[in-house]
Amino acid sequence: MAEIINLRQVRKAREKAEKDARAAENRVTFGRPKKQKTLQEKRKSLEESRHEGHRLGHRPEQDDPPT
């Protein structure tokens, strides 16, 4: 005898599995804690400020096109 299945339950189970798979991908992509994000932003800004601090002064003769 054939097993009776509820098509609505099967459809909902399939949609839930797809949603769970998408959620797992998003956790990998976007799943960093706020503390870790802010720490990385602070490190990046500090690194940029140190890099900019080593620049030499503006030299207009090199930046301006010849006339």
pLDDT greater than 90 at residue 6? yes
> What's the pLDDT at 33?
87
Q: Tell me if the pTM is above 0.75.
A: no
Any domain includes 3: no
26 in a structural domain = yes
pLDDT tens-place string over residues 14-65: 999 999 999 999 988 888 888 998 999 999 999 999 988 887 776 655 555 5
In which domain, by residue range, is 27 found? 8-49
Q: Cα(19)–Cα(10) distance, rounded to whole angstroms? A: 14
Is 15 a member of any domain? Answer: yes
Residue 2 located in a structural domain: no
Task: Say if 65 falls within a structural domain.
Answer: no
The radius of gyration of the chain from alpha carbons, rounded to an integer in Å, stands at 28
Question: What pLDDT sits at residue 66?
Answer: 57
Query: What DSSP string describes 32-56?
Result: --HHHHHHHHHHHHHHHHHHHHTPP
Number of domains into which the chain is organized = 1
Of the two residues 28 and 67, the one the predictor is more confident about is 28
